[in-house]
């Protein structure tokens, strides 16, 4: 099933322009940097007035419905991010922020789609570097889990339970990849192999 992200972006611009609570909208990720391919999702951003932020968050699903028929919508515990899959196959996420907290936005390079008050002119939303204390704690956890998984791996081999051993070996690989992420100043991920390049 083919999809045209340009159609969804145009609908997103129209939906944001029709909502006076939204003062700015932007495109981020690979579509903003020109590196998108046929498998890239859409990374969209909405900036509201400070006063209407909570209202727009409460209406997130209505905004998604303006983009197409939603098959999947979830924020995975982060109310300011909404992930979606539309019936045409378009996958994406929308980040929600507000004018008084522009310094909290860390989406990387972006392209302005709507800017009623000129707040995006000259703005940068660099990725936040990982917190050193959190990185140290994450490193401690990964090392502990590594040794725990290694113990399970040897037990599985000792019991000739090759499926269990294979699963533990995969977990060990993931821990090693996350150790490399931390060594290079990136954050460890739940999906350690995601976006390795």
Q: How far is CA 155 from CA 68, 116, 122, 142, 151, in A?
A: 50, 62, 57, 20, 6
**What is the rounded CA–CA span in Å between residue 7 and residue 104?**
29
Q: What is the mean pLDDT of each run of 10 residues along the chain (197 residues)?
A: 81 96 94 88 95 94 93 90 93 93 86 93 81 88 94 94 94 91 82 73
CA-derived radius of gyration, the chain: 21
Crossing angle of helices 132-158 and 162-183, in 10° steps, is 160
pLDDT at 2 (0 to 100): 55
Q: If you count DSSP H runs as helices and E runs as strands, how many of each does the chain have, helices first?
A: 6, 6
**What is the rounded CA–CA span in Å between residue 40 and residue 60?**
22
pLDDT at 1 (0 to 100): 44
Three-state SS at 193 = coil
> What torsion, rounded to 10 degrees, do the Cα atoms 66, 68, 72, 73 define?
-20
Evaluated on CA atoms 33, 38, 41, 46, the torsion sign reads: positive
pLDDT at 39 (0 to 100): 87
**Residue ranges per structural domain of the chain:** 5-115, 132-183
**What is the rounded CA–CA span in Å between residue 83 and residue 64?**
9
Question: How many CB atoms are located within 10 Å of the residue 16 CB?
Answer: 24
CATH fold group of domain 5-115: Beta Polymerase; domain 2 (3.30.460)
Residue 155's contacts (CB-CB under 8 Å, 6 or more residues apart) are none
């Amino acid at each position: 099933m083919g999809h045209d992200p340009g159609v969804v972006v145009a609908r997103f611009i129209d939906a944001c322009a029709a909502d006076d609570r939204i003062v700015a909208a932007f495109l981020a990720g690979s579509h903003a940097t020109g590196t998108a391919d046929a498998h890239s999702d859409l990374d969209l951003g909405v900036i509201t007035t400070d006063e209407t932020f909570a209202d727009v968050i409460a209406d997130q699903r209505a905004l998604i419905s303006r983009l197409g028929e939603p098959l999947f919508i979830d924020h995975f515990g982060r109310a300011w991010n909404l992930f979606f899959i539309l019936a045409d196959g378009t996958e994406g996420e929308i980040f929600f922020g507000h004018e008084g907290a522009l310094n909290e936005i860390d989406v990387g390079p972006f392209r302005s789609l709507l800017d009623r008050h000129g707040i995006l002119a000259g703005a940068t939303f660099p990725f936040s570097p990982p917190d050193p204390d959190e990185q140290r704690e994450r490193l401690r956890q990964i090392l502990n889990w590594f040794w725990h998984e290694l113990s399970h791996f040897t037990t599985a081999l000792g019991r000739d339970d090759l499926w269990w051993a294979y699963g533990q070996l995969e977990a060990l690989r993931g821990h090693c990849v996350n150790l490399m992420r931390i060594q290079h100043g990136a954050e460890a991920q739940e999906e350690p192999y995601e976006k390795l390049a």
